[in-house]
Structure 1
């Protein structure tokens, strides 16, 4: 075992499911370039191939993307460590690279160039310092984790010796990371949004009990136009909040809400319990601060009366209704408005 392993960060898209975790790999895309393993083992070769495949790519982004591809295919070594922050479930996945890169063509895989990984652990984001999360929030697809490498290594019972790479290697990596102004702007926007989500979720976890979290959810629903009440602490049958549009709650639809103040994954049996409480004209809403297992997500797709809200979605609902929150909740989660580029309008 390497005493001071190199720690890499890898980003994949927000729409990637748990396939990399179950399949034991991380991957990169650039589909128009085909099999990246056939490109010559130099940064210049990747730059040339990138320009040929994407002639409209901005000049400043070429060395950045080419550098990411070159590192992924030719700098990673067996026993190096990978930190993969998966966007779909807000987990930080840490593993060990096992061998060389391979090309796995698949119509359903946007990231067909794989590096095989032995996963060592999967952790909620709130178990890491915010500065460590900021470092792995890099806008790059492939990057070195330097400042907080030991924090990630300790989570999987590994520990480096604290040394840093030589200056020449660090400078070569830094040169690849230079981006144009537009790319840097996108990076700043994503970083601001991610950091704010991390802050909100950590505050809710730290400052609220389970019952207080239920009260917050009821209040949010009232801000959205519902009449909501929290059920008694015991004997709720898996239903924590009941919401309805008419003041007395006699007219359907009735929304039964289960709240789970956790940043881990919620399993399908937990969601099944909520479904079991529904009668005619009743709908189920399950809210947590983490994510949902694949079985629960598949269940939602097949049940028109079920909606799952994960931590990221809950934060967005809180943002949308922040101006209407009661003062005690604005004190709990103190935010101020800033303006960032709207990437959806690109």
Structure 2
């Protein structure tokens, strides 16, 4: 059986669903220009990187150059790609077509693309934490080795057993040794991602749909609202009602729909919530996954609508964790650690 090579690729959250819609993954470093024009040699990539980014730390040069080289010259048609999307907490799995292109002026600043045939999009909570940790690499481009079969199983493939690390991957491993600063940043990112995964998995596995609504109501109370869960039937799509007035007579009144799912919520579900709003009422839709593009566009055009996806929801839990009741702190036990503030670097 032929060896199946599985690659991992990272892109920023700002790209949204464009790589999925466009059938590609991209690599950045736009100041270099067209990477496809660089000689297929690692030293040539290092030299181009030093010229384009003279202030880049010395320890990052071989790492970034190695990523560029692998992206252009080691990926083969038929190789599998795992792309964890930061925007919607999905793990996207596809097959490289073998077509590399340069897109001048790419708005996301990922101008060099490898075209991909996407095969499946899987919520993060369907993978083990160990597998998620492996694809949480700080590298833009890396090989998925230890838990490759966990990702391949989602597309009905299995890698051969007993395959040793191929010779060409030895240089790949050398490139993945980062300087201390890069490794520290990687640890901080991994810690935050692992904690987010832990929170979402606990809420998915330990709460029923109605209990999730109760948790949302409690979180809103921690934020200063008075909130109550509506009856289980006949709620018209409204699960929680919140307001600043303790008696609930004065606007604004917030009608909340809660969806305990790590998948993508379509626009019609959001439309249903909007249909319940009257004068002085606002709509809040909360899920643990993401929202379809149509729903996001609807939010941009409706001042009375707010969508909270899984990443945003976890941030709210972090922010108000100290105010949660002992019951919910026991459900998602966390302790404070100090990590580098990436926004200040």
Q: TM-score range by the shorter chain?
A: over 0.9
Structure 1 unaligned spans of 5+ = none
Q: How does 1:236-315 map to 2 (within 5 A)?
A: 236-315=235-314
Secondary structure, aligned partner of 1:5? coil
How big is each residue's C-alpha offset from its partner over 1:226-263, in whole Å with a ceiling of 9 and x where there is no partner?
00000000000000000000110111110000000000
Question: Is contact 2:8-2:135 (8 Å) kept?
Answer: yes
Question: Is contact 1:150-1:162 (8 Å) kept?
Answer: no
Rounded to whole Å, the distance in 2 between the matches of 1:321 and 1:333 is 13
Rounded to whole Å, the distance in 2 between the matches of 1:101 and 1:164 is 28
Match of 2:58 in 1: 59
Structure 2 unaligned spans of 5+ = none
Match of 2:213 in 1: 214
Rounded to whole Å, the distance in 1 between the matches of 2:48 and 2:274 is 52
Secondary structure, aligned partner of 1:98? strand
Q: 1:323 to 1:56 in 2, by over 3 A?
A: same
Rounded to whole Å, the distance in 2 between the matches of 1:304 and 1:3 is 55
Which deviates more from structure 2 when the two are superposed, residues 100-109 or residues 253-262? 100-109
Question: Is contact 1:220-1:318 (8 Å) kept?
Answer: yes
Question: Is contact 1:86-1:93 (8 Å) kept?
Answer: yes
Match of 2:185 in 1: 186
- Number of positions where the alignment pairs a residue of Structure 1 with one of Structure 2: 345
Rounded to whole Å, the distance in 1 between the matches of 2:273 and 2:312 is 19
Secondary structure, aligned partner of 1:15? helix
Question: Is contact 2:4-2:160 (8 Å) kept?
Answer: no
Q: TM-score if structure 2 supplies the norm length?
A: 0.98
Rounded to whole Å, the distance in 2 between the matches of 1:107 and 1:113 is 9
CA RMSD, 1 decimal: 1.0
Q: TM-score if structure 1 supplies the norm length?
A: 0.98
Secondary structure, aligned partner of 1:203? helix
Rounded to whole Å, the distance in 2 between the matches of 1:152 and 1:107 is 29
> Do structure 1's residue 325 and structure 2's residue 324 form an aligned pair?
yes
Rounded to whole Å, the distance in 1 between the matches of 2:169 and 2:31 is 30
Question: Cα distance, 1:167 vs. partner?
Answer: 5.7
Rounded to whole Å, the distance in 1 between the matches of 2:58 and 2:181 is 11
Rounded to whole Å, the distance in 2 between the matches of 1:166 and 1:326 is 49
How big is each residue's C-alpha offset from its partner over 1:138-175, in whole Å with a ceiling of 9 and x where there is no partner?
00000000000111111100111124344633321111
Question: Cα distance, 1:106 vs. partner?
Answer: 3.3
